[in-house]
Amino acid sequence: MTGKMYNEITLDLPLQEPDRQYYYMEKCRRHVHELEKEKGHALTFFVRTFGCQMNARDSEKLRGILLQAGLKECENEEADFVLYNTCTVRDNANQKVYGHLGYLQTLKKKNPAMKIALCGCMMQEPLVVERIKKSYCFVDLVFGTHNIYKLAELLYCCLTEKKMVVDVWDSAKAVVEDLPAVRKYPFKSGVNIMYGCNNFCSYCIVPYVRGRERSRDLEDILSEIRRLASGGVKEVMLLGQNVNSYGKTLAKPVSFAELLYQVNAVEGIERIRFMTSHPKDLSDGLIAAMRDCKKVCHHLHLPLQSGSSRILKVMNRCYTKEQYLDLVERIRAAIPDISLTTDIIVGFPGETKEDFEETLDVVQKVRFDSAFTFLYSKRAKTAAAEMENQVPEAVAKERFDRLLREVQQIASEVCGRDVNTVQPVLVECENDHQAGYVSGRLGNNLLVHFPGDASLVGQIVPVRLTNAKGFYYIGKSEKETEDGR
Ligand code: 5AD
Ligand code: SF4
């Protein structure tokens, strides 16, 4: 599929990005203003995000553009412009979107001027776009992962035309920086350090929908983080599909460890997280950087996928069970209080009872703080989709339930290990359920609820963890005790 739009705009406009998009934001603003005068009320938008942290970050950029385009954000789909940022990593993500589209159609019947837009990973699949064109003709705009920066231009097109606008690109043409973005929290932010993935794990659709690995320049990342810090951000989450291979393809190669040292030196930043690490690329240099950089949280998400060396080979993961266990040992030797989380797939083609037992064995040996478990889902174009010996659904489901019970049991035991210690907590919000309480996160990302008020939001507070509740803690601010309050 190419980037040809149904409706081409021919106007005298800046050719360079991001200027071209700022031009369209202004054009949208004027148009929206006219529409508002006509209708007598503000025009609203709503963005719903499906999927991972990368999509969540993309949605912040999309919302930033829509605000600049003059629309007001609202809290649900009863809006004039609804945008779904979709995921396709497993088939149930796609089914969810189709399900929601039915609901959007009923809303559009009530508000015929409503515009419906779809973007993100699922739209990179030609069969999906075909189905939308054929069966969901009430959709107004479709675009992919490589041109989200173009939303202002596409929105203008969509507001001024009646036909469905489709603009999906095969690959990234440019990395466009310096567009507006809004954040859910003023004190923490995701930062993309790389896009795409080159690993082609045999089950995974990501390399097909997000394209080849592209690292951002070190200086661009650092200046974004400095800007965030001067705007009050205390925590950054460095985002990429495979952060451990950051910088390998740059003209002047830089390692991820080096990036961590540099981010650690940015004044104002107090916590650094990153996601996701591939075990095959996790070097001793990176372990040392995690140990030495005081701001790097002691949390590592290290997807295992399977504990069977035979299955790992077919998955194209490039490590064995023993190498994974050895890596965990080296990490724990360097950072004893590290919190380890993982992803595991059950029911990969050809997985036998013995293979599954190997997975359980790794889970029992490592004792993850938490694990996301997934039933294998066949994805178009991937190597695994063509494999024989697809595991019957009932067998996979039974294994899945067994694994889930095991990881939950271990997680509830592991979670309590910091009880009675004092830990720094970044306070995120007032607690919805209990008046007079706030909620925040530990370095290992676990939630803590403790007595406090809105003035603490955005601050890092020392909290004594008094009760472990399985997947969260109840605590008491040490600040309060010192003050004698
Ligand atoms: N089926 C099931 N789970 C998958 N994942 C990726 N592709 C598939 C698939 N086809 C899981 C992996 C990955 C996480 C983001 O999603 O565990 O780490
Ligand atoms: Fe998918 Fe593997 Fe790339 Fe992760 S590393 S995005 S699982 S191909």
Ligand 1 pocket member 203 (CB < 6 A): yes
pLDDT surpassing 50 at residue 484: no
Q: How far is the CA of 241 from the centre of ligand 2 (A)?
A: 6
**How do 422-430 and 437-441 pair as beta strands?**
antiparallel
Task: Name the band, by pLDDT with cuts 50, 70 and 90, for residue 485.
Answer: very low
Beta strand spans in 302-377 (E): 339-346, 370-375
pLDDT in tens, 315-360: 999 999 999 999 999 999 999 999 999 999 999 999 999 999 999 9
Nearest-atom index, ligand 1, CA of 372: 17
Nearest-atom index, ligand 1, CA of 203: 10
Residues 366 and 330: their CA atoms lie apart, in Å, by 12
Please tell me the predicted confidence (pLDDT) of residue 177. Answer: 80
Q: Name the residue with the closest Cα to ligand 1, atom 14.
A: 343
Phi, psi of 124 (to 5 degrees): -80, -5
Ligand 1 pocket member 138 (CB < 6 A): no
Please tell me the predicted confidence (pLDDT) of residue 6. Answer: 39
Q: Name the residue with the closest Cα to ligand 2, atom 1.
A: 204
pLDDT surpassing 70 at residue 186: yes
pLDDT surpassing 90 at residue 178: no
pLDDT in tens, 45-97: 999 999 999 999 999 999 999 999 999 999 999 999 999 999 999 999 999 99
Please tell me the predicted confidence (pLDDT) of residue 14. Answer: 83
Q: How far is the CA of 373 from the centre of ligand 1 (A)?
A: 9
Q: How far is the CA of 408 from the centre of ligand 2 (A)?
A: 24
Please tell me the predicted confidence (pLDDT) of residue 13. Answer: 78
What average pLDDT does this structure show over 135-161?
Answer: 96
Nearest-atom index, ligand 2, CA of 278: 5
What average pLDDT does this structure show over 111-118?
Answer: 96
Q: Name the residue with the closest Cα to ligand 1, atom 18.
A: 343
Q: How far is the CA of 347 from the centre of ligand 1 (A)?
A: 11
With the most atoms of ligand 1 within 8 angstroms of its CB, the residue from 345, 378, 386, 400 to mutate is: 345
Which tokens sit at 169?
Answer: 């690109």
Residues 328 and 363: their CA atoms lie apart, in Å, by 12
Please tell me the predicted confidence (pLDDT) of residue 102. Answer: 96
Task: Name the band, by pLDDT with cuts 50, 70 and 90, for residue 175.
Answer: confident
Please tell me the predicted confidence (pLDDT) of residue 168. Answer: 96
What average pLDDT does this structure show over 261-271?
Answer: 98
With the most atoms of ligand 2 within 8 angstroms of its CB, the residue from 90, 145, 197 to mutate is: 197
**How do 370-375 and 422-430 pair as beta strands?**
unpaired
pTM metric for this prediction: 0.92
What is the DSSP annotation of 76-124? SS-SSEEEEEE--SSHHHHHHHHHHHHHHHHHHHH-TT-EEEEEEGGGG
Q: Name the residue with the closest Cα to ligand 2, atom 4.
A: 241
